Amino acid sequence: MAEQPCLGPPASPAPPNPRTHPRDKWSKKMDFLLSVVGFAVDLGNVWRFPYICYQNGGGAFLIPYTLMAVFGGVPLFYMELALGQFHRTGAIPIWKRICPIFKGIGFAICIIGLYVSFYYNTIIAWALYYFYSSFSGTLPWASCDNPWNTPDCTNYFGKSNVTWTNFSRSPAEEFYTRKVLEIQKSGGLHDIGGIRWQLLLCLFLIFTIVYFSLWKGVKTSGKVVWVTATLPYVVLLILLIRGATLPGAWRGVVFYLRPDWSKLLSTAVWVDAAAQIFFSLGPGFGVLLALASYNHFHNNCYRDALVTSAVNCLTSFLSGFVIFTVLGYMAEMRDVEVEDVARDKGPSLLFITYPEAIANMVGSTFFAIIFFLMMITLGLDSTFGGLEAVITAVMDEYPQLLAGRRELFVLALITVCFLGSLSTLTYGGAYVVKLLEEFGAGCSILAVVLLETIAVSWFYGIQRFSHDVKAMLGFTPGLFWKLCWVAISPALLAFIVISSLLDQPPLTLFDYQYPEWSISAGFLIGASSFICIPLYTVYKLVWTPGSLKQVRTGQERTTPWLLGGLG
């Protein structure tokens, strides 16, 4: 019988025979766990969670955050690990086994992975530039006595006789904007200017590290993560101890955890909690599928999902203490409220606010070096995972073409990512980074993971998926997990997607207001990945022979293909 758009509910396909389909395996179980933790724990844990937490009710925010993790993030985290481990293949060819008309999801995931690589590695390159600049007796962002400073530069940290105005800029802010980015040489997205050769060298070094970590597969990347996934925790602990001993640290902690229960009545708070947990754990990026596909068939992915997702969430919570002890110190030194120094978000928190505090600590050079080393390792882990998802998906889809040529394919992919990042290295590159961050992997990835959940739970069938899990683990997922996969998690994702599309605040960076045409371009970027899904569905329906009904048994009874997995 010719391949139909969506398979019906007969027995689940057997996993590939390792004798006829040789596949790499993790050398050690810990290699896999560290790779998953390294991907999930990224720069967003350090800058996004603390900001969202205090903006949405402090300690009260932990209630919606925990609920969204329990009913949304963790179930989908578990689902992706189980799918990857059972089918032992990447994000594109896996749909041949689940529901072929949804194969466009795999292509969409790969395109999103490329968009993320275009801007995310540039942020790591900024951290590398700071890391190099930290090797000096006096940190270059500690004073206003530098060639790049302007008359507006005001160093008022710990000084009572300095007047701060709306035009004042801290030395840390001017170092970031005028020295690292040189954004003053750009007029905006319509005039991004030339390439910063210093950042070009930093990005080249980053991609070189990434290439030699991924070129041999999980055998090499599994060893690298022993450093890149564990070092951040050592540094976080050091920074937490140092922050806790600073004057005013308690003010920051109180501000971070002080609950504002009225915030729980706001829909926006629940949307932020759901979005944060989904972006933090990372289902839908194809990374969990790829990493789990190199596991042994009977590995306990259920336990892995619980452990690694708990580590991720606890790391986000811990990062809040690291950030806010320092913000409390800054507020104490400036004699202002913590809220007045906690307004920065995103990269600005990591490249302006925190470095400014470090510059005024005893032993500033040491703390700057380990802080930016932590940022580099956090970023590299996530890059390893994101690109491995693309590599595994494409190589598994075209094994005849790419078998035995992994090194060349990885080199070609890294080259494409490097060339795609060039616009982010210009004088106006920060504007491009912001645009790609907002639209390259925003609503599109949430919509992708929504369709993925529906395809697995409704089309492939929750019973078939449960049988697959039982074949691997020896037990069937409980009622809680089935309810989350079938109804609760898809409902939460639909809620986030709709809310995000209806609420589009103006996009700004520093004093730059993004023009309307750039917002339209951003929507096109987001749509360019998601459009793969309906296009492939139409292609499959047009080119698949036969009617829209397929024979499920040898009898004449038929079932509409759309209901294939529900029967």
Known binding positions for Na(+): 38, 40-41, 45, 280, 312, 378, 381-382
- Single-letter amino acid code for the residue at 429: G
Instruction: With residue 62 as reference, give the H or E element that holds it.
Output: helix 62-68
Q: Using H for helix, E for strand and C for coil, what is the string for 453-489?
A: HHHHHHHHHHHHHHHHHHHHHCCCCCHHHHHHHHHHH
Q: Which amino acid is at 361?
A: M
Residues flagged as binding site: 38, 40-41, 45, 280, 312, 378, 381-382
Tokens of 154: 């005001």
Exposure string for 505-520, b = 16+ CB within 10 A, e = fewer: eebebeebebeeebbe
Find the largest Cα–Cα distance for the chain. 90
Token representation of residue 58: 């402090």
Core vs surface per residue 368-398: b (16+ CB within 10 A) or e: bbbbbbbbbbbbbbbbbbbbbbbbbbbbbbe
188: alpha, beta or left? (left if phi > 0; alpha if psi -120 to 50): left
Please, are residues 416 and 391 in contact by the beta-carbon 8 Å criterion? no
**How does DSSP assign 375-442, residue by residue?**
HHHHHHHHHHHHHHHHHHHHHHHSHHHHTT-HHHHHHHHHHHHHHHTGGGGBTTHHHHHHHHHHHTTS
Which residue in the block uniquely carries the two structure tokens 């790779």? 35
b/e burial code for range 348-365 (CB count within 10 A of at least 16 → b): bbbbbbbbbbbbbbeebb
